């Protein structure tokens, strides 16, 4: 029974991704692009930078695993293929599919489930906190954001502070032990612990990652409209970072759909004509999905053949 379930797990996973991927894109109104004069050079630059951000995520994941004591890791190419496939699971509602698929796939290559669980939680938390921190800094000092109420700014800051406190190793470990005891009815073992090195490294690296992702979003916006000026660079990075962080922090929403789009549209409308802000918001969803597919195709295509996996595990 269990073997049969495992055989069906892969096809079911792919079907769910395709289903929710289609749902993610189905309500895009392509008619808004009728008047767009696309700058293909800037679009290519946005694609390259955005792909770089996804590989940056693989690098951070590897750094976290090593900081947590995982020594015999597969090659970067294999980790990239695992990460890319799990990344597509973000289109399935909830964060369980994304984290669970990464744990399931990486465990096949000899990495312990406990370390994979902790690394995924640290990675997700650090990404949200670092991205939110960057957004608060960039948008907090921008006078164009004065139209947002101080209550909303306070909520943003509160979320950032709470998430940061949860990443503090003693608090994180306490929450993890409590959850493990509640679910498994026994005490957690030593592998289910995070250390300061893993948290600090991942936080700083994801600050850089937010800059990478935000700059890609700026070049996409610039490719779509001449109204996007160089002086908007930092604001657009802040806007995309805030939208992305709130989208990631919203449970049961595939890839932040709705939340991320709404925040993007509101913030871009403060500096651009509303019709241009709408075009960029809609295009960003289609563009992000296309880059995700491209990342998966590249990572899967570069994955070593089965006969070479044993050698890669020794690296």
- Predicted confidence (pLDDT) per residue in 13-27, tens digit: 566 666 666 665 666
Q: Can you tell me the mean pLDDT for 161-180?
A: 76
Q: How far apart are CA 119 and CA 121, in angstroms?
A: 5
Model confidence at 307: pLDDT above 60: no
Model confidence at 315: pLDDT above 50: no
Q: Can you tell me the mean pLDDT for 217-243?
A: 93
Model confidence at 256: pLDDT above 60: no
Q: Which of 39-48, 180-189, 195-204, 285-294 has the lowest mean pLDDT?
A: 180-189
- 8 burial type by CB count under 10 A (0-12 exposed, 13-18 middle, 19+ buried): exposed
List of residues 6+ apart from 284 with CB closer than 8 A: 217, 220, 221, 240, 261, 264
pLDDT at 185: 62
pLDDT at 176: 73
Q: Can you tell me the mean pLDDT for 114-127?
A: 84
């Amino acid at each position: 029974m269990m073997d049969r379930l495992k055989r069906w797990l892969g096809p079911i996973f792919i079907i769910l991704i395709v289903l929710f991927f289609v749902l993610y894109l189905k309500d895009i109104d392509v008619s808004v692009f009728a008047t767009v004069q696309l700058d293909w050079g800037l679009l290519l630059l946005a694609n390259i930078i955005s792909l770089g951000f996804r590989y940056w995520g693989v690098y951070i994941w590897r750094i976290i695993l090593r900081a947590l004591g995982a020594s015999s890791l597969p090659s970067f190419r294999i980790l990239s293929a695992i990460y890319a496939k799990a990344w597509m699971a973000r289109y399935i509602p909830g964060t369980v599919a994304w984290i669970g698929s990464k744990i399931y796939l990486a465990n096949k290559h000899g990495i312990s489930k406990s370390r994979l669980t902790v690394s995924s939680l640290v990675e997700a938390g650090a990404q949200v906190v670092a991205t939110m921190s960057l957004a608060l800094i960039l948008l907090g000092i921008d006078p164009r954001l004065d139209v947002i109420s101080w209550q909303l700014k306070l909520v943003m800051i509160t979320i950032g502070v709470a998430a940061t406190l949860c990443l503090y190793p003693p608090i994180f470990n306490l929450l993890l032990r409590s959850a493990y005891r509640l679910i498994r009815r026994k005490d957690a073992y030593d592998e289910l612990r995070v250390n300061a090195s893993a948290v600090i490294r991942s936080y700083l690296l994801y600050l850089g990652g937010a800059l990478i992702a935000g700059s890609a979003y700026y070049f996409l916006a610039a490719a779509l409209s001449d109204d996007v000026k160089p002086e908007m660079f930092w604001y657009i990075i802040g806007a995309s970072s805030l939208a992305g962080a709130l989208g990631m922090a919203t449970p049961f929403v595939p890839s932040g759909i709705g939340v991320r789009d709404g925040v993007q549209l509101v913030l871009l409308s403060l500096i651009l004509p509303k019709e241009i802000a709408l075009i960029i918001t809609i295009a960003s969803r289609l563009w992000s999905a296309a880059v995700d597919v491209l990342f998966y195709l590249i990572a899967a295509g570069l994955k070593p053949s089965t006969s070479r996996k044993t050698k890669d595990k020794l690296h």
